[in-house]
Amino acid sequence: MQATATKTAGQELANTLRRYFKVGTRTRRYRNGSDLHEQMLEALQLASQYPGYYSERTEKPLRAGFGVWLAYTKHVGGYRINGVLRRRITEMSPYQFAAFLGRMVDAGVTNAGQGEVFFQRMTHAI
């Protein structure tokens, strides 16, 4: 009997981001003058706002991250979270950042309010 590995929506998102942006464990944050964190966040936005922008294989997992993009933009981009937590997030490698976005999806972040709760829990865990 074979065990089938089922992936969560967050794991699918992280794998899709890593595949699409060709990110490995040693990939640096900046590539050819562009910020991979910003490109990943933009991909979440574009997949949700412009259906058909990406192929179906890429678009489906990315659409699950729209609420994550909203929460991240408001709380991290808007400097509304703890400074130490913000620094830790912005210092992540692109590989770790993709996993972080996937973790937010798996935590059920679908809007800015749920993102606030997610970041508060992360702050208390520091």
Looking at residue 54, its pLDDT comes to 92
Quick one: tokens of 62? 């990315």
Looking at residue 126, its pLDDT comes to 82
In the structure, what pLDDT confidence band is assigned to residue 125 with cuts at 50, 70 and 90? confident
- Residue 1 reports pLDDT greater than 60: no
Arithmetic mean of pLDDT over the chain: 92
Looking at residue 4, its pLDDT comes to 58
C-alpha 126: how far from its chain's center?
A: 20
Quick one: tokens of 73? 């933009």
In the structure, what pLDDT confidence band is assigned to residue 112 with cuts at 50, 70 and 90? very high
In the structure, what pLDDT confidence band is assigned to residue 10 with cuts at 50, 70 and 90? very high
Q: In terms of DSSP bridges, do strands 30-31 and 34-35 run parallel, antiparallel, or are they unpaired?
A: antiparallel
Q: Are 118 and 109 spatial neighbours (Cβ–Cβ below 8 Å)?
A: yes
Measure the CA–CA gap between 29 and 109, rounded to whole angstroms.
24
Q: What pLDDT digit, counting tens, does each position of 23-73 carry?
A: 999 999 999 999 999 999 999 999 999 999 999 999 999 999 999 999 999
